[in-house]
Each structure stands twice: as C-alpha cells, then as structure tokens.
Amino acid sequence: MPDTASPTLDHYKRDAARLLKQARAGDATALQRFQRLDNPPAEIQLKHALAVVAGEAGHDSWTDLKQASGLDFSEFFGGHGLRDSLNPWFNNYDEAKAFQTENGGVLLPYRHHFFVSSTAMLARLGFEEDHADWQAIGFDFVRPASAEAQTRIKAGLQRRFTSA
C-alpha cells in the first residue's frame, strides 16, 4: 500500500488522535508535548494535537506537513474524479489479486482495502492504457512487479495532481 519509507498522513492523524486521547486522560508526557506549541492551549483539541505531531515531524504547521507529504497514495485512487466507476472491492489483497489475474484491470489501494478498476481509468490519471510503467508493475499498484516503475508513476501523479 503506501510507502513504508515515510509515514503517511493517516499515520500522523492516528498519532495525533492517540496523543489527544492520552492528554485528555491526564498523561503527563502527552501534556508536556503540548507545551512546545507557541501558544499552548488551555483546552486541548484535535487541531492542537495535529500541530504537535507536525512540529515533531519538523514542520511549522499541520498545513505545512500536509503540503510536504504530497499525495497520500493510501487514499488517492478513491479520490474525487475517480469515484464514479463501479469496481469490485476486496478486504484482502489475495482476493483482489486473484480477481485481477482472472479478469484483468488495475489493482489499486484505498485505505485498508483494495479494488480492481478497468485500465480505461488510467486515462483519468494521465496515462495511456498500455503505458510501459503500468505494464512493468503488472497493473498492480499495491505490490508492484517493478519498484522503479512505480516510483516513476508516483512522480508523474505528484506532478499532475499537486500544485507545486
């Protein structure tokens, strides 16, 4: 699914939610982390926990962290403009892969699930249906046959779908 080299936004959101829960339970270590904020809040909210997590990750704000993170590939393929197709969905990778092997298509992640879409959807992403890099990954974005080809695909998607 998403890159394991760097945490996803989901990872940071979960950390922030966990931090908030610990702080509200009175955990001294968690409460101390909020003291690093420029204006520590009297009443801690999720936005404050997000700011703490972003600061600890080396960013000035949660917005900064989101922008620096680029596309979150764990959710990207279920995003706006790609949701209007009916696709078979699966709770585990092996079932999705078996379906893709038998029926063709592109195997894609969405959070902790998988779906198989027609190769025609690649045009919406700016790729030809028979694009060499998609062929090289076996039309499988989750467990690509070629990490190098997937890196090129991700870079292309970053260029097309982020404002930099």
The predicted structure's pLDDT at residue 158: 82
Residues of the chain where predicted confidence (pLDDT) is lower than 50: 1-5, 164
Number of domains in the chain: 2
Among candidate residues 30, 51, 69, the one where a domain is terminated: 69
The torsion angle over the Cα atoms of residues 103, 110, 69 and 28, rounded to 10 degrees, is -150
As a whole number of angstroms, the distance between CA 143 and CA 54 comes to 29
The predicted structure's pLDDT at residue 7: 67
Based on the fold, state whether residues 96 and 57 are members of the same structural domain. no
Examine residue 38 and state whether it is found in any structural domain, yes or no. Answer: yes
The predicted structure's pLDDT at residue 57: 85
Residue 115 DSSP one-character state: E
The predicted structure's pLDDT at residue 78: 74
Give residue 134's domain range: 76-161
Based on the fold, state whether residues 105 and 155 are members of the same structural domain. yes
The answer to whether 119 and 104 are in contact (CB under 8 A) is yes
The answer to whether 122 and 129 are in contact (CB under 8 A) is yes
Joined tokens for residue 90: 């699966």
Among candidate residues 69, 97, 117, the one where a domain is terminated: 69
Based on the fold, state whether residues 62 and 107 are members of the same structural domain. no
Among candidate residues 46, 69, 92, the one where a domain is terminated: 69
The predicted structure's pLDDT at residue 106: 96
